[in-house]
Amino acid sequence: MEIESWWLLAIPLFFGLGWFAARLDLRSGGARPRGQLPEAYFRGLNFLLNEQPDKAIDAFVDVVRLDPETVELHFALGNLFRRRGETDRAIRVHLNLVERRDLDAQQREHALFELGQDYLKAGLLDRAEDAFNRLEGSRYAAAALHHRLELAQMVRDWPLAIGHAERLERDCGERHGRDIAHYRCEMAAAALAQGTPEGRAAARREIAAASAADPAHPRPPLLAGELALAEDDPAGAIAAWEPLVRESPSFLALAAGDWLAAHAAVGRFDAGLAALERVQAEHPAVDTFAAIADALARERGQEEALAWARAGLERQPSLLALERLLALHAPLADEARRGDIELMQRVVQPQARRLARYVCRHCGFKARQFYWQCPGCSRWDTYAPKRTEEIERG
């Protein structure tokens, strides 16, 4: 069995506990000669050094049974159980400590904090929340508040998450502006999805609050544009997106199609196209490429769209762009060549689908749609507005 790296860390810990247990013996004047450790302790240490963590744990459990007053050893064991994923045993050890009447308040709070983490790891979210809530006012309050924030995010209770994040800012001097902006945007997106005037009014309030929490973040202006479109206000949408052109141009790719449609709706297609092409020259994105090709086909005809796409593909060879080009080409080709083009499409499509995904920078989770919060690791802002092909190209 290969030794896990954390066991290497555990060994000095148990040496330390040995010293602690010896001190206890000295103080309590137990049956053993002075300074002598329980035999099971050495057995456990021996198993640990021989890379037999299961037997080591059994031996340390014996020590704890024989010497119930070795509180620190209980804590160490509970944590080892949790790290090994044996949350049932970790919960039993920590619950036992919480309920012991002979411990002082600080030790019981420590046990409660560990118990909360056991429940969290076991997925018992209600119990975890209860344990962390009970630590209000203790020296574990700030650490517990971080876990409460994590829990609020897990159950998507955004108002509660905002409250916790604001308290961490106020009481602990931490910065959570970006998190708060995301929580508000989540509320705005949900309100917008209701499709009612009340929902849109609520979305507007949350978007404004999100912008105030993190003025440089691209998500609030993107949502503000979406809201304006839902209100049939293309000029308002353009005004909402305009700051992105200067501040976060690469994120305009997420709204490129709507950007062009909104400009066409207010009779400014050429200006919108020119602005988007300038962004595309600096931050090439296949979504923008596709949006421009589609809009050109719609506004100026298939021939012009095809010529534009061909020139773009020559400048920047790309399988995803080639797939787009073939789709534009197929209806224009004569009978004889259409068969070839459709064959090429069938060859290119599976590869293109593989390269068209977004990738989390933190955990590598791949997704067809863009996420502000990774479904794999729950971190915010770990997706770039670029497809795998563009990321691999660098």
Q: Which one of 243, 376, 380, 388 is in contact with Zn ion (CB under 5 A)? A: 376
Contact criterion met (CB below 8 Å) for 207 and 243: no
In a 13 Å sphere around the CA of 249, the CA atoms on its Cβ side amount to 13
Q: Is residue 172 part of an annotated ligand binding site?
A: no
Task: Tell me if residue 366 falls in helix, strand or coil.
Answer: strand
Residue 210 or 360: the one with the smaller Cβ distance to Zn ion is 360
Q: Note whether 375 binds Zn ion by CB under 5 A.
A: no
Q: Note whether 365 binds Zn ion by CB under 5 A.
A: yes
Phi/psi at 373 (5° precision): -120, 125
Q: Is residue 185 part of an annotated ligand binding site?
A: no
- What is the residue whose two structure tokens read 């206000």? 233
Applying CB under 5 A, the span of 69-77, 112-120, 282-290, 363-371 interacting with Zn ion comes to 363-371
Residue 243 or 376: the one with the smaller Cβ distance to Zn ion is 376
In a 13 Å sphere around the CA of 271, the CA atoms on its Cβ side amount to 9
CA nearest 308: which of 94, 295, 150?
295
Residue 235 or 363: the one with the smaller Cβ distance to Zn ion is 363
Q: Which one of 363, 366, 392, 393 is in contact with Zn ion (CB under 5 A)? A: 363
Task: State the minimum distance, in angstroms, from the CB of residue 365 to Zn ion.
Answer: 4
**Rounded Cα distance, 245 and 226, in Å:** 16
Residue 211 or 382: the one with the smaller Cβ distance to Zn ion is 382
**Rounded Cα distance, 357 and 386, in Å:** 8
CA nearest 352: which of 329, 322, 316, 314?
322
Task: State the minimum distance, in angstroms, from the CB of residue 156 to Zn ion.
Answer: 17
Size of the site for Zn ion (CB under 5 A): 7
Task: Tell me if residue 383 falls in helix, strand or coil.
Answer: strand
Q: Note whether 357 binds Zn ion by CB under 5 A.
A: no
Q: Note whether 49 binds Zn ion by CB under 5 A.
A: no
Task: State the minimum distance, in angstroms, from the CB of residue 374 to Zn ion.
Answer: 3
**Rounded Cα distance, 191 and 208, in Å:** 14
Task: State the minimum distance, in angstroms, from the CB of residue 59 to Zn ion.
Answer: 39
Task: Using CB under 5 A, list all residues that contact Zn ion.
Answer: 360, 362-363, 365, 374, 376-377
